Amino acid sequence: MNLSILILLPLLTALAVLLARNNNQVRWISFAGATAQFILAFVLMYLFREERIAGSTQQMLFEQQYNWFPSWHISFHMGVDGISVAMILLTAFVVLAGVLVSWNVTKMTKEFYFLLILLSLGAYGFFISLDLFILFFFLEIAVIPKYLLIGIWGSGKKEYSANKLALMLMGGSALVLVGLLGVYFNTPARSFDLLLLSDTGISREAQMICFPLLFVGFGVFTALFPFHTWVPDGHSSAPTAGSMFLAGISMKLGGYGCLRVATLLMPEGAKAYSTWIIVLSSIAILYGAFATMMQKDLKYINAYSSVSHCGFVLLGIGMLTQTSMTGAVMQMVSHGLMTALFFAVIGMIYERTHTRQVSEMGGLLKVMPFISTVLFIVGLCSLGLPGLSGFVAEMTVFVGSWENPDPFRRVATIAACLSIVVTAVYILRAIGQTAMGPVKESYLHLTDARWNEKLAAIILIFGIVAIGTAPFWLSDLINPGTELIMQKIKMVP
């Protein structure tokens, strides 16, 4: 399969959106584009599996390389392994749902969809690039759409949040940039090519410097404590689809980067700094969970819980066992779907009740059974109910983390395990106060979800349940990728 289609398709969609004549056209074009991308993602997965079953053992499949800035040894190098395929699938899900959920955005519709699709373009590009330069290119491409989405279509203190988000993410990518340059100049190859770099290796001294730069840099995207403060504000101010993309896709860029770039290229660094990663991510998990408990705004609840959940991603990476890394990737996918759904639901509720304060709602189950049911599902997924994706991912991380007998890691794992209790507390509080309880008089006339919202929710729920009930397809997809990283780590003395 030609991977450039993955980039070209959103690009064309975006252009088509620009050329569209009215809002309806914009919507349908975006929807068509997102659907095509969705199908494409599945096709990609199918072809990928076929290749693997056919016995292809290459690290990356469907590799393609075009020269781009040959003087810097930059090439447009694309390729996917299971991890990327998983992330691409995630992106496709979230994008499609996001497009559907935004169906009745009336303010500057064209621009809105254009930016959404641009964002997805960034994500797709990021996940398929095998050249660090391009990776970085796509990483940054997504920052401004986020800024504008929040700033223009957001709510609350949107300018502040948008600024904070853009600046912190830029800060992260600035560190990434320095790290990348460090990598670039510390290999004999003078190359940005991921595969080449991972083959040639980087000197230990350079790893000691570049690993933290890259990890923290990418970590900012994944809400690494204490660089997570853009998350609550950014997510809560963003429009629905914006939050979905932010939490569902954008935060995953960081996790993917931590794994694919930082850890794969610099196993020694990863090993040396794993203690720090674990400390920070455990703090994020627990602290995020406790902070969530005190939130009163639904979006803040989900945003802080994202901090906590993304902590699992980093924890999984930091534990440096294959299972934990697989778990980290699964957690990325799972959290992406789940949090996107959560934000979608919050958006639906907000659109109807015009409040996001938990205390002001009640009994929504009565007036909007569909939306409330989705809220239940996503809440249960968030607290790790078996059969939904969250459980699978978290358990994989736990089991993986436990594989390392070091007492310190044990303690961290136990701390992480305990967070599931706190998660239950805040999720149930949120659900209990919104969906359950006596219904408010003024809500009685409210309506349930429309077709587009239902479709969006169903798509995401499908993803969540598919992972939750049949996780093996996902883990089979991911495992070879993490295995390779593990091999690198194991070679470190």
- Chain residues 24-63 in contact with other proteins, contact rule CB under 8 A: none
What SS3 state is found at 150? helix
Q: Is 72 in the site for other proteins (CB under 8 A)?
A: yes
Count Cβ atoms within 10 A of the Cβ of residue 254 and give its class: 0-12 exposed, 13-18 middle, 19 or more buried.
Answer: buried
Largest CA distance in the chain: 71
Q: Is 185 in the site for other proteins (CB under 8 A)?
A: yes
Task: Closer to other proteins by CB, 271 or 296: give it.
Answer: 296
Residue 225 tokens read as 């404590």
Task: Closer to other proteins by CB, 43 or 470: give it.
Answer: 470
Q: How far is the CB of 267 from other proteins (least distance, A)?
A: 19
Q: Is 491 in the site for other proteins (CB under 8 A)?
A: no
Contact (Cβ atoms closer than 8 angstroms) between residue 302 and residue 346: yes
Task: Closer to other proteins by CB, 249 or 365: give it.
Answer: 365
Q: Is 2 in the site for other proteins (CB under 8 A)?
A: no
Q: Which of 35, 64, 155, 163 binds other proteins (CB under 8 A)?
A: 163
Q: Is 147 in the site for other proteins (CB under 8 A)?
A: yes
Contact (Cβ atoms closer than 8 angstroms) between residue 376 and residue 436: no
Q: Which of 1, 279, 428, 455 binds other proteins (CB under 8 A)?
A: 428
Q: Residues 223 to 262: which contact other proteins by CB under 8 A?
A: 225-226, 228-230, 232-233
Q: Which of 46, 50, 357, 432 binds other proteins (CB under 8 A)?
A: 432
In whole angstroms, what is the distance from residue 343 CA to residue 288 CA? 17
Instruction: Count CA within 13 A, CB hemisphere, residue 8.
Output: 5
Could you tell me which residues are beta bridge partners of residue 61?
80
Q: How far is the CB of 182 from other proteins (least distance, A)?
A: 6
323-360 core/surface letters (b: 16 or more CB in 10 A; e: else):
bbbbbbbbbbbbbbbbbbbbbbbbbbbbebbeebebee
Task: Please give the helix or strand (H or E) that residue 65 lies within, else none.
Answer: strand 61-67
Q: Is 396 in the site for other proteins (CB under 8 A)?
A: yes
Task: Closer to other proteins by CB, 31 or 311: give it.
Answer: 311
| x-or-dash string of contact with other proteins, 401-420, rule CB under 8 A | -xx-x-------xx--xx-x
Count Cβ atoms within 10 A of the Cβ of residue 364 and give its class: 0-12 exposed, 13-18 middle, 19 or more buried.
Answer: buried
In whole angstroms, what is the distance from residue 113 CA to residue 48 CA? 30
Q: Is 187 in the site for other proteins (CB under 8 A)?
A: no
What SS3 state is found at 296? coil
Q: Is 162 in the site for other proteins (CB under 8 A)?
A: yes
* Residue 129 per-residue DSSP state: B
Q: Residues 342 to 381: which contact other proteins by CB under 8 A?
A: 363, 365-366, 369, 380
Number of residues near other proteins (by CB under 8 A): 98
Contact (Cβ atoms closer than 8 angstroms) between residue 157 and residue 87: no
Tell me which stretch binds other proteins (CB under 8 A): 78-86, 137-145, 267-275, 344-352: 137-145
Q: Residues 261 to 320: which contact other proteins by CB under 8 A?
A: 287, 290-291, 293-295, 304
Q: Which of 209, 279, 446, 492 binds other proteins (CB under 8 A)?
A: 209
Task: Closer to other proteins by CB, 140 or 351: give it.
Answer: 140
Task: Closer to other proteins by CB, 31 or 400: give it.
Answer: 400
Contact (Cβ atoms closer than 8 angstroms) between residue 396 and residue 326: yes
Q: How far is the CB of 256 from other proteins (least distance, A)?
A: 18
In whole angstroms, what is the distance from residue 342 CA to residue 439 CA? 21
Q: Residues 91 to 110: which contact other proteins by CB under 8 A?
A: none
Could you tell me which residues are beta bridge partners of residue 75?
67
**Residue 398: alpha-carbon gap to chain centroid:** 20
Residues 6 or more apart whose CB falls under 8 angstroms from that of 490 comprise none
Cis peptide before 407 (omega within 30 of 0): no
Q: How far is the CB of 251 from other proteins (least distance, A)?
A: 17
Q: Residues 444 to 483: which contact other proteins by CB under 8 A?
A: 470-472, 475, 479
Task: Closer to other proteins by CB, 87 or 139: give it.
Answer: 139
- Element counts in the chain: helices (H) and strands (E): 22, 2
Instruction: Count CA within 13 A, CB hemisphere, residue 424.
Output: 8
Count Cβ atoms within 10 A of the Cβ of residue 22 and give its class: 0-12 exposed, 13-18 middle, 19 or more buried.
Answer: exposed
Q: How far is the CB of 185 from other proteins (least distance, A)?
A: 5
Q: How far is the CB of 103 from other proteins (least distance, A)?
A: 23
Q: How far is the CB of 326 from other proteins (least distance, A)?
A: 8
Q: Which of 181, 208, 466, 492 binds other proteins (CB under 8 A)?
A: 181
Q: Is 437 in the site for other proteins (CB under 8 A)?
A: yes
Task: Closer to other proteins by CB, 1 or 141: give it.
Answer: 141
Tally of CB atoms within 10 A around 77? 26
Q: How far is the CB of 43 from other proteins (least distance, A)?
A: 25
Tell me which stretch binds other proteins (CB under 8 A): 52-60, 154-162, 196-204, 444-452: 154-162
Tell me which stretch binds other proteins (CB under 8 A): 77-85, 94-102, 171-179, 250-258: 171-179
